[in-house]
Amino acid sequence: MTRKLNAAAVQFHIEQGQVENNLQTVLSALERLRRHNVRLVVLPEMWSTGFDYRSLTQLAANTPELVDKLAGQAARLGMVVVGSLPESADGALYNSTYVLDGGRQVGRYRKLHLFSPMCEDRFFRAGNATLAVDTSVGRIGVAICYDLRFPELFRRLALDGADVICLSAQWPKPRQEPWRTLLKARAIENQVFMVATNCCGMQGNIDFFGMSMIVSPRGEVLAEGGEEPCEVLVELDREDLRAYREAIPAWHDRRPDVYGVLT
């Protein structure tokens, strides 16, 4: 585990259904981030396709090849890359985050909470497992968009040893304040770093506001994007995290004997 870690959120306008264009956007961003010695990169939710429901089954067929290409780039640049893609498996579609490290897929997480107001539950099957995984940059946890509203998931990831949690999202206007508030809350209550990437721009009639954020265990916004495409990056210091956990010993002072949950 590295004490200091340069982490980045790659915020961009996802072109709905345009897999190759979106891939080139990501590959170009990774090349730029290499100059800043970035080791951990988080991409938006469904970054290759957007929610192009009419073509999702066909588009999901591209995902294995995309994962291979991105893993090759991650290996060449010495990065861990995290991002959500449509996955076809078991006769169903999943909204799945892939964790790529050194040219290998070291983890895959299928979104637990499907957002019914945008019909996600009509097109995807929900996952049934959480993911905290060891990587070359330390142990990270993974969540996707609507998951942010369910604090139990983030406590589970923290209990499983994640000190950085990566969140890929497509979080639209006008819900900027819940986005900001919940990201800070998840960081504070679990004493973890949050690296959260949102997309930006219009998809159909939905306007995505960006505001990708990297938040400290103290709830400080270390870096934040605006509403335009950008790369948000900052250095995370795990020694600072350790010192803060000692100063505010919330983990030691927990009472799972009383709550009876997430022991």
Which residue segments constitute the domains of the chain, with CATH numbers given? 4-253 (3.60.110.10)
Q: What is the pLDDT of residue 260?
A: 76
Distance between CA atoms of residues 70 and 27, nearest Å: 8
What does the radius of gyration of the chain's CA atoms come to, in whole angstroms?
17
Where in the sequence numbering do the catalytic residues fall?
A: 45, 111, 145
pLDDT tens-digit readout, 192-230: 999 999 999 998 889 999 999 999 999 999 999 999 999
- pLDDT exceeds cutoff 90 at 81: yes
CB 131 within 8 A of CB 107: yes
Q: What is the pLDDT of residue 53?
A: 92
pLDDT tens-digit readout, 13-69: 999 999 999 999 999 999 999 999 999 999 999 999 999 999 999 999 999 999 999
Nearest to 118 by CA among 184, 217, 52, 200: 52
